[in-house]
Structure formats: C-alpha cells, structure tokens
Copies of this chain bind each other. A is one copy, B any other.
Amino acid sequence: MHAEDMAEEFPVVGLNSDAWEAARLLAEHRLPGLVVTDPDGHPHSILPASQVVRFLVPSYVQDDPSLAGVLDESMADRVADKLGGKTVRDVIPHEAPELAVVNFDDTIVEVAAIMARLRCPLAAVIKDRQLVGVITASRLLQLALVHH
C-alpha cells in the first residue's frame, strides 16, 4: 500500500484564507489542526486548534491571567471581532510545527518514519507537488493494526 491509498480528504485552508473561516472549520469538523497550503497549492504548515484558541482570550487577560475568572461568557462573542479581517497567515504561530510531507508512492514505513521524526500528527501526501490528501497518525495506526 502506498501513501496515496492511505490518504484521506482533509479540510485545507490557504495562507490567505480568512482566519474566521479556519476557526469555523476546526470547530465544525472537531479537528486538532488544519493543513495550510501556500498560494500555489503546496503544503505549507499546520494551523493547530490550540493556536486559534488564543483568540478567545482578550489581550488584558493575556497580560493579567487573574482577570480571566471574573469575565462572563459574553466575551466569547468577541472572537469574531478578534479574528475578523485576519488571514490564516496572521494567526499561524511563528514557530509552527513542521508539517510532514510524503510522496504518493511512499510506503507505510516511510510515512511512519517521517511522522515520528517530526513528531507531526499528520502527513501531507503530494503528487506532482500538489496536495492529494492527508494521513493522520491515528489513520496510520489503524492501517497497521488492521493488517495485523
């Protein structure tokens, strides 16, 4: 089996996509992260949900965490304001985790080796430099255990 056959569809956003739309995708699909592509459609990085969660926190709480407990829930309504007008590029962490990228004809061992080395929870599968799908670490385990 090759990477191409292990890959699944996965929500993808562009570097220039709307950050609010990215947050909505993460929430709707209950994903720990999204694959981000550059304007040419090549895999670029991962946008972790834990990074977007940062925008739920008002700046004055980031400055003084003791204020978090006294806020009421209505502040959640302000998320859209904080993300509004921002692109995915604006919210990606500078030290974004390196995205594992594998070729469509890589074997399960090759995919596992690069994913483990980069400690990356998913691998982008490319063919002719274009993203053709994503393999998550749990998908890899599923395939390996089924074979057993």
Contacts and interface: CB of A to CB of B under 8 A. Distances in A.
Contacts of A76: 108, 143-144, 147-148
Interface string A105-132: 0111110110110111100000000000
A92 interface: no
Contacts of A51: 116, 119
Contact of A52 (B23, B52, B58, B137): B137
Nearest to A105: B69
Given A49-B136, A139-B30, A112 B57 contact: yes
Interface of A: 1, 23-24, 26-33, 48-54, 56-58, 61-62, 65, 68-69, 71-73, 75-77, 79-80, 93, 106-110, 112-113, 115-116, 118-121, 136-145, 147-148
- Nearest first, the 9 A-B pairs at minimum CB distance are A49-B137, A54-B116, A56-B112, A27-B141, A27-B142, A76-B147, A68-B110, A76-B144, A50-B137
